[in-house]
Amino acid sequence: MAVNISKLEEVDLRDLWAHEAHGFSAWLSNNLDRLGDRIGLTLLNPQREEEVGSFSVDLTAETEDNGRVVIENQLEQTDHGHLGQVITYLTNLEAKVAIWICRHARPEHIRAVTWLNEISPEDVAFYLVKLEAYRIANSDPAPLFTLIVGPSAESRDIGKQKKELAERHIKRLEFWEGLLARAKAQGVMWHAQRTGSKDSWLGAGAGLRSGLSFVYTIYRGDDEGSAVELYIDVGNQKENKEIFDRFAARKGDLEAKLGHPVDWDRLDERRASRIRDNLPGPGLDAPKADWPVLQDKMIAAMDKFVKAIKGLNVQV
C-alpha cells in the first residue's frame, strides 16, 4: 500500500508575524515552553516590553530557580545593534540568562556569543537561537527553534583557561618591566632597548652576530626557577651547530669563569642550539614582595654570563 509523503515547505517568518513586538513577542509569551524545550530551560512568568532606560526588552521571564531571563527577538539576520541590546538588557536587569532569537546568525555573532559564554561567570548564560517555520502541504505553519550556541562545560573550561593565560601574561609583563627597570638602575644595560613581554622569556641581541641572543627565562614553580642563556639561531641548522661546537670547545674556560657547570644544549633534532645557566629557586609564582630579590639574582647572573661568553672571544 502506497504511503503519501508530503513536501516540507519553509514559511517566511514575516508572513506569520509582520511585527516582532506585537506579533512574534506576543505569540512567544504564550508559547515559552516551545522555546524552553529546545534549549533545555523551564521558562516561567513572561513579561513583555520591560523598560531599560529609554529602551524596552522584548520579553523577560524567570527560570525555575528565580533567575531573570531576557529574550531579544530579531526576525532578521543578526546585527551589532541587537548584540549590544542583549548585553545591555542582561546587565541592567541583573539577569542570569540572555536568549537572542534570530532568523539567521552571522558567523561573527556566533563567535561573539561563544566568547561571552567563555568569559562570563558560571551562573550567567547566553543562548543564540535560530527561528524557522515550516508547513506540510496545507497544514498550519509550525515554528522550529534550533539552538546555535549555548553554554557548555567545554566553553566554561575554555574560558577558565583563557582567563588564566591572560592573568599569566599580565604577571609576566609586570615581572619583566620590573626586571628591566632594576637592571638599568644597576647599570646592567644588555637589555636596555627592550620593553616588557608577556612571554616566559626576554631576549636581546648578543652583539656578537645577528642570530645570537642573550635570553632571560622565568619559569612558574619553585622547582624550576629561572635561567639565562645564549640562544644560537642564525637561520641555518648546520651553521648553528658549528657555532655551538666552537663554544663547546671552550666549555672548561666558560664554566671556570662562571664557577659552576651549565647546560650545553646542542639540540641536534632542532635548528637552534643554546647554552643555558639555570638558576634554581623561586619562579614567577613567588610572592610579588620577593620579586626584587629574584630579579636582582637574574640580573647579576646575566651580567656575569654575558661577560664570560664575550670574554671567550669565540669567532662566530
| pLDDT 10s digits, 193-251 | 999 999 999 999 999 999 999 999 999 876 779 999 999 999 999 999 999 999 999 99
pLDDT digits (tens, 9 = 90+) for 86-96: 999 999 999 99
pLDDT digit string, tens, across residues 48-92: 888 888 888 999 999 988 899 999 999 999 999 999 999 999 999
Please say if the pLDDT value at position 164 is more than 70. Answer: yes
pLDDT at 165: 75
Q: Among residues of the chain, what percentage have pLDDT more than 70?
A: 99
Mean pLDDT estimate for the chain: 92
Q: What does the pLDDT average to over 101-105?
A: 95
Give the CATH architecture of domain 8-151: 3-Layer(aba) Sandwich (3.40)
Residue with cell 515550516: 134
Domain with CATH 3.40.1350.10 in the chain: 8-151
Q: What is the mean pLDDT of residues 249-276?
A: 96
The domain defined by 160-311 folds into Yope Regulator; Chain: A, (3.30.1460)
pLDDT, position 1: 66
Tell me what percent of the residues of the chain surpass a pLDDT of 90.
78
* Of the listed ranges 5-14, 143-152, 158-167, 207-216, the one predicted with least confidence: 158-167
**39-53, 150-164, 184-198, 239-253: least confidently modelled range:** 150-164
Pinpoint the residues of the chain covered by CATH 3.30.1460: 160-311
